[in-house]
Chain A
Amino acid sequence: MLAVLALAAQAPAAWATVSGPDQNLQVRHYAMTIGRDGVKRETTFSERVYRRNDQVWTERLVESESADGHDHSDDHSGHSHPDAGSSPMWVRRQADGALDARLIERHQRRSIKVDSQYYGNIGFNGNWGSTFFLSDPQSLKSMRMVGALKDGVQQYESKRGDLTVRVSWDVKGQYPRRVESLDAHGKTRRETLVSVIEAPKMLPWKMLAGYTEIDYSDLLD
């Protein structure tokens, strides 16, 4: 999840005990590549992220979802697999630092608990720092600070080979307002823009009453 922002692989144990302020965020992802075939390929998608103390809800915005949040398409899909890409992901940090990660399938009204051995299958890196803060604050320490704090934002930059990464970090809000990575030849560029949105009337994880709980492994055939 949010792989471009997961700049460090692991957060130290000490960091696992730290939380940031609650946030309601909209995250817009943009990626561009220009191939050697001369074709420019661009993709964009957006997610909403709600974080409270020890839990984070990340949900891609999908226009085809009906207003009531139910996809009424055919529910008979045989031995189906969860749609890990566009299903909301709910991650909670337990008292011992362990994570409880779930995919939520609204149309089937089920909560799918994902054991850590399957994180790779669903594209979750298991890193609380990059999940909660979008950019793992630990990774910022390995980047160069650029200029002084301005309007509550600290700029960071790193270069590795042809690749440059820039992060605009909201110090008080504890989230990146913008992350950009680009190569020196202008052939690839990624940008993530994060903005604060209104809090939902009801937090999404409080609307799961009656949902069946299953394990991700139940769906492997």
Chain B
Amino acid sequence: MKIQLASSQQFPHCLRQAPVLCALALLFSGPAWAADAVPAKAKNVIFFLGDGMGPVTVTAARIYGHGEAGRLTMETLNRTARIKTFSLDAQTTDSAPSMAAYMTGVKMKNDVISMSSDTNAYDANGKPYQVKADSTCVAGNGQPVQTLLELSKGAGKAVGAVSTTRISHATPAATYAHVCNRDAYNTITEQATPGAARYNTALKDGVDVLLGGGLRHFLPKSSAGSQRNDELDALGMFKAAGYTYVASGSELKSVNPANVSKLLGLFTPSDMDYELDRVKKKLNQPSLAEMTEKAIGVLKKNPNGYFLMVEGGRIDHALHGTNAKRALEDTLAFDAAIKKALELVDLKDTLIVVTADHDHAIGFNGYPKRGNPILGKVTNYADGKLALAADGKPYTTLVFGNGSAPRRPEDGDLTNVDTEADDYLQQVGVRFAGSPGSETHGGGDVMLFSAGAGSDSFKGTFENIKVFGKVKNALGL
């Protein structure tokens, strides 16, 4: 696979642009590790991506976990920025081009994974370039563009991708694969499989750590539970390439990173379970924090450093379902992974970036009093009484701009409904033919938090494609 290099760095380091001024600034910047002065160059990068984790979700998760005046770990990072997320052809992006924008610096169309801007995910008749998770992309339909993970691998660093979705899902795929339609899960898996015909050779000896769900795309067609259309034994090929393979939370716990150089963990056939269910049902799946810890443990052994992407992927899925509780639980699990990483790394040589790929149509309603449960009905701050809508019924603080109630065409009366229950689905504004799960992404800007080496340039308001150059510069690549 020939990979097209992205355009030159958009935000070169100050030493390259104005070396004298920059040197003076460094001279008078006080101790090298003062709180507001961090090294310009990062040996390691951990890129945290909360899928769909827009500003309201962050605020709601803060209140849910720590109260109004509390702080999420991500909010303790000292650099903040605001990111414009539009894709090449849509005001509201999906995860494929938005994560690819971060990873490649190239704006692409919705549903495209790390390809050039001229790539189409659908043919002229609107037919997707994939059939049953196999790519049907045609020659000439765009070119792959280099990702931060590939650049890092090329520089001799260790690389990894961790997600709570299937590991071939759009966000993790955008770090290591190139395909014109994101739904080609089998093809994406093959691109990560050492020795496979369509292996992405830019990954050299392979992505060092891959942890998430999606086992069914790694099994040959003849195996039970496979969703492949061929007999490619991707799992067997990973093992043959020297990967340690784990299939459960307990197996991952038993991994000693000191003894492992390549790690593959596939914990579920499809996506991993929501954090709420993982905990309540005592499922033998690792938390995102546990996966992050093991990934860092394996990758940090490389003397050249590492690039790690960690995705809280199911925040987005719960939001699509207008199930705010599971979205907030997954956001807190994502935040716990950030906390774990901060305990394990040295910010003097490591850049931490935390952001989202896009927003959702979730809204924060009314004038609820301080201390009101964020999943609860609005009780007025003035008198503590239930606030009532025009129909005389109470409503919740969190609602969605679109979506639908489950197979019911009218709003229910929430008076006697426990809106803090696990399966409660929020009320919605614009209805989409009664289809929960179809709530859309939002086109609003998202937040970016960062800290550590090379984080100084992560401030202001800029497009998602600019993040690529900032991370690349921080790595000195």
Residues of A at the B interface (CB closer than 8 Å) are 1-3, 31, 33-37, 39, 41, 43, 45, 60, 74-76, 78-79, 81-87, 89, 115, 117-118, 120-124, 160-161, 163, 187-188, 212, 214-221
* A219 vs B433: C-alpha distance when bound (angstroms): 17
Partner of B317 from A2, A76, A220 at Cβ < 8 Å: A220
Cβ–Cβ < 8 Å partners of B409 in chain A: 43, 45, 85
* A39 vs B323: C-alpha distance when bound (angstroms): 29
Q: Does B401 make an interface contact (CB < 8 A)?
A: no
A117 with B273: in contact, given A83-B438, A123-B425 (CB under 8 Å)?
yes
Instruction: Give chain B nearest CB distance to A126 CB in angstroms.
Output: 9
A81 with B435: in contact, given A43-B409, A76-B122, A217-B271 (CB under 8 Å)?
yes
Are B170 and A221 in contact (CB-based, < 8 A)? Answer: yes
B369-394: CB near A (< 8 Å → 1, else 0) gives 00000000000000000001111110
Q: Does B406 make an interface contact (CB < 8 A)?
A: yes
Q: Does B410 make an interface contact (CB < 8 A)?
A: yes
Are A221 and B94 in contact (CB-based, < 8 A)? Answer: yes
A76 with B407: in contact, given A82-B437, A85-B434 (CB under 8 Å)?
no
Partner of B391 from A33, A115, A212 at Cβ < 8 Å: A33
A122 with B437: in contact, given A79-B111, A187-B392 (CB under 8 Å)?
yes
**Would you list 16 pairs from A and B whose C-beta atoms are within 8 A, ordered by A residue?**
A1-B407, A34-B392, A36-B391, A41-B391, A45-B409, A60-B407, A79-B111, A79-B183, A83-B434, A84-B438, A85-B409, A86-B435, A89-B407, A117-B277, A120-B406, A221-B320
Cβ–Cβ < 8 Å partners of A121 in chain B: 317, 320-321, 323, 436-437
B252-282: CB near A (< 8 Å → 1, else 0) gives 0000000000000000001101100100000
Are A117 and B94 in contact (CB-based, < 8 A)? Answer: no
Q: Does B413 make an interface contact (CB < 8 A)?
A: yes
Q: Does B316 make an interface contact (CB < 8 A)?
A: yes
Central interface residue in B185, B274, B407, by most chain A CB within 10 Å? B407
Residues of B at the A interface (CB closer than 8 Å) are 94-96, 110-111, 122, 125-127, 132-133, 166, 170, 182-183, 185, 227, 270-271, 273-274, 277, 316-317, 320-321, 323, 388-393, 404-410, 412-413, 416, 423, 425, 432-438, 441
Are A84 and B182 in contact (CB-based, < 8 A)? Answer: no
A31 with B316: in contact, given A79-B182, A122-B436 (CB under 8 Å)?
no
Cβ–Cβ < 8 Å partners of A41 in chain B: 391, 410
* A3 vs B417: C-alpha distance when bound (angstroms): 13
A81 with B320: in contact, given A36-B388, A86-B434 (CB under 8 Å)?
yes
Instruction: Give chain B nearest CB distance to A221 CB in angstroms.
Output: 5
Central interface residue in B133, B185, B392, by most chain A CB within 10 Å? B392
Cβ–Cβ < 8 Å partners of B127 in chain A: 76
Beyond A1-B406, A79-B94, A85-B436, 20 additional contacts (C-beta under 8 Å) are: A34-B392, A35-B389, A35-B390, A37-B391, A76-B122, A79-B110, A83-B433, A85-B406, A85-B433, A86-B433, A115-B270, A120-B321, A120-B425, A121-B321, A123-B405, A123-B425, A187-B392, A214-B132, A215-B270, A221-B96
Central interface residue in B94, B317, B425, by most chain A CB within 10 Å? B317
A221 with B434: in contact, given A79-B110, A212-B132 (CB under 8 Å)?
no
Are B438 and A81 in contact (CB-based, < 8 A)? Answer: yes
Are B416 and A161 in contact (CB-based, < 8 A)? Answer: yes
Partner of A123 from B391, B392, B407, B432 at Cβ < 8 Å: B407
Partner of A218 from B183, B390, B432 at Cβ < 8 Å: B183
Are B126 and A76 in contact (CB-based, < 8 A)? Answer: yes
Instruction: Give chain A nearest CB distance to B266 CB in angstroms.
Output: 15
Cβ–Cβ < 8 Å partners of B122 in chain A: 76, 78
Partner of B316 from A87, A187, A220 at Cβ < 8 Å: A220
Residue of B nearest to A161 (CB): B416
* A117 vs B273: C-alpha distance when bound (angstroms): 7
Cβ–Cβ < 8 Å partners of A124 in chain B: 406-407
A74 with B126: in contact, given A117-B274, A120-B425, A121-B436 (CB under 8 Å)?
yes
Are B404 and A85 in contact (CB-based, < 8 A)? Answer: yes
* A121 vs B425: C-alpha distance when bound (angstroms): 8
Cβ–Cβ < 8 Å partners of A35 in chain B: 389-393
Which 9 pairs across A and B sit closest by C-beta, in order of nearness? Answer: A123-B406, A85-B434, A76-B126, A35-B391, A36-B392, A121-B321, A81-B438, A43-B410, A121-B437
Are B436 and A123 in contact (CB-based, < 8 A)? Answer: yes
Partner of B407 from A3, A218, A219 at Cβ < 8 Å: A3
* A164 vs B138: C-alpha distance when bound (angstroms): 62
Partner of B413 from A85, A120, A188 at Cβ < 8 Å: A188
Partner of A84 from B126, B170, B277, B437 at Cβ < 8 Å: B437
Instruction: Give chain B nearest CB distance to A38 CB in angstroms.
Output: 9
Cβ–Cβ < 8 Å partners of A115 in chain B: 270
Cβ–Cβ < 8 Å partners of A217 in chain B: 166, 270-271
Instruction: Give chain B nearest CB distance to A59 CB in angstroms.
Output: 11
Residue of A nearest to B126 (CB): A76
Are B410 and A84 in contact (CB-based, < 8 A)? Answer: no
Instruction: Give chain B nearest CB distance to A75 CB in angstroms.
Output: 7
Instruction: Give chain B nearest CB distance to A12 CB in angstroms.
Output: 20
